[in-house]
Amino acid sequence: MSNEPMEKSTKERLIEAAGQLFADKGFKETTVRDICELAGANVAAVNYYFGDKEKLHEEVISYIVNRIKELPIESILEKIDSPEDRIHEFVRIMLLHRFSPMPSEWEGKLFAEHMIKSNGLVRSHIMERISKVQTIMIQIVAELLGPEATPEMIKLCSFSIISQFVFYFNMHAPHSPMPDESKIEMTSEVIDTIARHIADFSVAGIKRIKNKGAPAPL
């Protein structure tokens, strides 16, 4: 029996082709013909499988979000004892998923773009994922801050950590206003360095906040 993977369906090829083109050219500049040519499909295939380009776009975003939901973050983190190391691994996982060429860089690019601007369906998917990410980080931060921490302390520290890796998402998002010379080549080594920096910087700040006490209520 052959060990070769099964050939992708036309629908799968259309989703992946559309995702690549939306990430590289943007939704408006991408035509149905472009998508079908890249997917090696008949020009009528988008209409047949999805109805129109807008519905295909929604399918692309759903595909990305579902893949992100499959990230085994909880099962990985539960094997790590210290909250300091869990922060590092958490940030590293998020950066790797965004910038790793596998499975596809276009997935991370589109997700980053739609974290900022999206339609109602896309936003609901993304907010669901962000809520889960936020919950995980809040649990780690609460452990670091200890039982005396107020909800405001936990929330502010959690947001500060998340905002650091989201900055790199936004820097490399399609149509980012950041100049090209300020962007970083996100190799696996660079990602490890950034993750370690964010973790060390954040843990030091959390310890300072813990010693300083609660801020004014939000």
- Looking up residue 23, the CATH number of its domain turns out to be 1.10.10.60
**Same domain, residue pair 132 and 41:** no
Structure tokens given for 156? 């502010």
**Same domain, residue pair 22 and 95:** no
The DSSP result for 46-81, as a single string, is: HHHHHSSHHHHHHHHHHHHHHHHHT--HHHHHTT--
**Same domain, residue pair 38 and 122:** no
**Same domain, residue pair 131 and 28:** no
| Residue 3 included in any domain | no
Last residue of a domain, one of 62, 79, 102: 62
Positions in the chain whose pLDDT score sits under 70:
1-7, 68-70, 101-105, 108-109, 111-127, 129-130, 173-175, 213-218
Within 10 Å of residue 127's Cβ, how many Cβ atoms? 13
Largest Cα separation within the chain, whole Å, is: 67
Residues in the chain: 218
Reference 48, options 120, 70, 39, 84; nearest CA is 39
**Same domain, residue pair 96 and 173:** yes
| Residue 46 included in any domain | yes
Torsion of CA 110, 113, 117, 122, to 10 degrees: 30
**Same domain, residue pair 117 and 48:** no
**Same domain, residue pair 85 and 145:** yes
**Same domain, residue pair 22 and 82:** no
| Residue 217 included in any domain | no
Q: Give residue 160's domain range.
A: 71-212
The tens digit of pLDDT for each residue in 162-204 reads 999 988 887 876 567 778 778 888 888 999 999 999 999 999 9
**Same domain, residue pair 75 and 156:** yes
Q: What is the domain count for the chain?
A: 2
Structure tokens given for 201? 């910087």
| Residue 83 included in any domain | yes
The tens digit of pLDDT for each residue in 20-37 reads 899 888 888 999 999 999
Across the chain, where does the E strand assignment appear?
A: none
